[in-house]
Amino acid sequence: MGTYEEKLSILSQMIAFARVDYSLKDSEYDFLLGVATNLGVDKSTFDVLLKEKSPKVVLKSQAERIVQFHRLLLLMNIDQEQHEKEIRTLHNIGLSMGLPPSAIMQVLEVMHNYPNKVVPPDVLINIFKAHYN
């Protein structure tokens, strides 16, 4: 996984997305802290990111962008609630990352077919592969 700055940017984007509904639930905080730990970002740095955004770094590879989209999808569904604003924001983030619009829409549709709307990574990857071929 990329540079430390990329990791901070990933977390900043996720924190901003979690706050689309103007709140940060405990389940979202716990999920974000878990992602931070997985990325090698300590809790004190993570807590600073809750107050101050990190500069945006564009993820270079398509695979990194798909993984980030999946993280955001998981974050959206962590509280078992999907609001129209969250879905619209996630769709727009996917577009801004250069992901195929039809793949984004398909993922947002198929998530309802899985427990807790958690799309398995292999399903997500196959959706994006199909849209790149």
Q: Could you give all domains of the chain from N- to C-terminal order, each with its CATH number?
A: 4-132 (1.10.3680)
Is 7 within 8 Å of 40 (Cβ atoms)? yes
- CA distance linking residue 106 with residue 118, whole number of Å: 14
Mean pLDDT of the chain: 93
* DSSP state letters, 41-96: --HHHHHHHHHSPPPP----SHHHHHHHHHHHHHHHHTTS---HHHHHHHHHHHHH
Is 67 within 8 Å of 107 (Cβ atoms)? no
pLDDT value, residue 65 = 95
pLDDT confidence bin for 111, thresholds 50/70/90: very high
pLDDT value, residue 1 = 57
pLDDT value, residue 133 = 67
Region of 120 on the Ramachandran plot (φ > 0 left; ψ -120 to 50 alpha; else beta): beta
Tens of pLDDT, residue by residue over 32-67, are 999 999 999 999 999 999 999 888 998 989 999 999
Is 21 within 8 Å of 86 (Cβ atoms)? yes
pLDDT value, residue 87 = 94
Neighbours of 126 (CB within 10 A): 11
Tell me the three state secondary structure of residue 106.
Answer: helix
pLDDT value, residue 80 = 80
pLDDT value, residue 58 = 87
